[in-house]
Amino acid sequence: MSTPVIFGSDHAGYALKEQLKTYVASLGREVLDVGTNSLDSCDYPLFAFKLCDLVLEKNSLGILICGTGLGMSMAANRRPGIRAALCSNEYMARMTRLHNNANVLCLGERWMGPGLGESIAKTFLETEFEGGRHQRRIDLFDTL
Ligand code: RB5
């Protein structure tokens, strides 16, 4: 059984979060949502950290969305064990799973349409880490 896909956003990523939740559920994946739950202005680090804690607890994958994707990726990468990648295309999404074993995908609603978001999310969720020399390199994040 596959692990749930965990979603989080601030107000600027809320609409895309709702669209992508429906899309990812249609792929047959269980979806969890740590908020936000409206378009009311809020602070993205709160949702980034909530999502990261759940991703680590469930050993799962997460998708974080804000206006640009930048703030979410900066906040998420502060959590040890989280490898968050801001991706603007499917190639980046595929490579960050294959080589970086990214466990959080960051997207920006203000520059990306829902079709591109769906395509990037699908690629991210369906690509497996290659391991091998890439595991050695990831291990250096915590040992150097
Ligand atoms: C909110 O206005 C915006 O700053 C936020 O969504 C995000 O883009 C920050 O990096």
Mean pLDDT of 95-105: 98
**Cβ < 6 A, ligand 1 pocket:** 10, 12, 44, 66-68, 70-71
Residue 1, pLDDT score:
57
Domain residue limits, the chain: 5-143
**Residue 103 corresponds to which amino acid?**
N
φ/ψ of 66, rounded to 5, equals: -130, -160
Q: Are 129 and 101 in contact (CB under 8 A)?
A: yes
Q: Of 29, 79, 94, 99, which is the active-site residue?
A: 99
* CATH superfamily assigned to domain 5-143: Sugar-phosphate isomerase, RpiB/LacA/LacB (3.40.1400.10)
What pTM does this model have? 0.98
Cα 125 to chain centroid distance, Å, stands at 9
* Whether 11 is catalytic: no
Q: What gap in Å lies between CA 33 and CA 43, rounded to an integer?
A: 16
Q: What is the pLDDT of residues 40-77, one digit of tens each?
A: 999 999 999 999 999 999 999 999 999 999 999 999 99
